[in-house]
């Protein structure tokens, strides 16, 4: 939290991503520019402030940053303690961060705990770390070198409450017959929960999680429909039965109740490439699109425009 961020010091003020800024402020650490002429000449220095809780180190220098991107869903930094030890810290989407961690460092309760917090609308960020061997030149390390063999540290849980005016504005738009769609980079379960709180998904409505995947080396992609509340799954794959789950409408068992399709960016991409004939039906009732990259968001807007 004190080092893995994109904050900078500008005219004596800490500037950067609002979420990074809130996390850093919560630590009560301070950030300053290095006054060193050697290896730390261009580094940012972070150290405990007067109100910081007891820290086992006097401070550290942020030597190099591998920035966050929506496509990678993570960021990493190389830091050096004042004592000389070098460390790697990573933060990002939990499902991405664990790919770079030792499997035995990820607890068995990882999935259930992630589900617990995201289903309550919390934003969940995973943290990981490793110590670099002594003598390893940090300046020559690539992102691939840095982001490997990490130890999973845990979750950072954040609550981002809806603004007071959000729900009334959405209700006004709905009353004017203007459709509301959520497109976000957050975890899909978090997004679904927030959509419910905002009134985009009303009580009694069914939520259908659409998951599509295409495995490397296999010619056929697959698509799965999951009723989130009841965990009922129908699967279809292959060119001969890709229509079977949707047919002319939603999966069977929905009755006459309203329903909402929700999907991640990776599923959206597979659908556009392998299930294009289903895309208009999915968009017609699509409400939540999560873990979407900027390119996927732009593509989604274009697809909606085609439906006008």
Lowest mean pLDDT among 52-66, 151-165, 262-276: 52-66
DSSP strand E in 174-285: where?
Answer: 182-183, 206-214, 221-227, 232-237, 259-264
- Residue appearing with tokens 């934003």: 123
β pairing state of 29-33 and 13-15: unpaired
**Rounded distance, CA 9 to CA 262, Å?**
40
* DSSP label at residue 16: S
How far is residue 124 from each of residues 10, 42, 111, 186, measured CA to CA in Å? 29, 32, 12, 9
Full-prediction pTM beyond 0.75? yes
Could you tell me which residue, 37 or 239, shows the higher pLDDT?
37
The 10s digit of each residue's pLDDT in 207-248 is 999 999 887 666 688 898 888 863 333 444 433 334 333 433
Average pLDDT of the residues in 22-51: 81
Q: Work out the angle at residue 112's Cα, subtended by the Cα atoms of residues 106 and 116, and round it to the nearest 5 degrees.
A: 125
- Taking only the tens place, the pLDDT of each residue in 238-260 is 333 343 334 334 455 555 568 89
Please, which residues have CB within 8 angstroms of residue 277's CB and are 6 or more apart in sequence?
242, 243
- Helices vs strands, H then E, count in the chain: 9, 15
Cα three-residue angle 35-38-41, rounded to 5 degrees: 45
CA distances from 68 to 4, 73, 107, 185, 293 (A): 10, 7, 25, 12, 12
Question: Higher model confidence: residue 74 or residue 216?
Answer: 74
């Amino acid at each position: 939290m004190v080092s893995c961020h994109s904050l900078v010091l500008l005219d004596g003020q800490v500037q950067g991503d609002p979420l990074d800024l809130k996390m850093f402020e919560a630590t009560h650490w301070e950030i300053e520019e290095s006054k060193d002429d050697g290896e730390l000449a261009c580094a940012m220095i972070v150290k405990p402030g007067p109100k910081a809780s007891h820290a086992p180190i006097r401070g550290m220098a942020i030597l190099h940053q591998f920035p966050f991107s929506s496509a990678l869903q993570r960021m990493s930094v190389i830091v050096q303690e004042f004592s000389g030890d070098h460390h790697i810290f990573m933060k990002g989407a939990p499902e991405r961060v664990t790919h770079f961690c030792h499997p035995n460092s990820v607890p068995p309760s990882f999935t259930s705990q992630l589900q617990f917090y995201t289903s309550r609308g919390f934003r969940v960020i995973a943290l990981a770390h490793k110590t670099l061997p002594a003598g390893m030149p940090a300046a020559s390390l690539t992102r691939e070198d840095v982001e490997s063999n990490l130890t999973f540290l845990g979750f950072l849980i954040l609550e981002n409450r809806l603004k007071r005016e959000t729900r009334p504005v959405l209700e006004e738009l709905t009353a004017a017959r203007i459709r509301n769609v959520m497109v976000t980079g957050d975890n899909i379960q978090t997004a679904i929960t927030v959509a419910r709180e905002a009134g985009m998904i009303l009580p009694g409505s069914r939520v259908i999680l659409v998951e599509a995947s295409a495995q490397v080396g296999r010619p056929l992609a697959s698509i799965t429909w999951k009723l989130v509340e009841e965990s009922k799954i129908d699967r279809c794959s292959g060119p001969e039965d890709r229509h079977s789950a949707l047919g002319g409408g939603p999966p069977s068992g929905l009755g006459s109740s309203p329903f909402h399709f929700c999907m991640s960016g990776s599923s959206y991409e597979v659908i556009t490439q392998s299930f294009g004939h289903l895309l208009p039906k999915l968009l017609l009732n699509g409400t939540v699109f999560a873990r979407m990259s900027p390119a996927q968001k732009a593509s989604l807007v274009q697809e909606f425009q085609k439906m006008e």
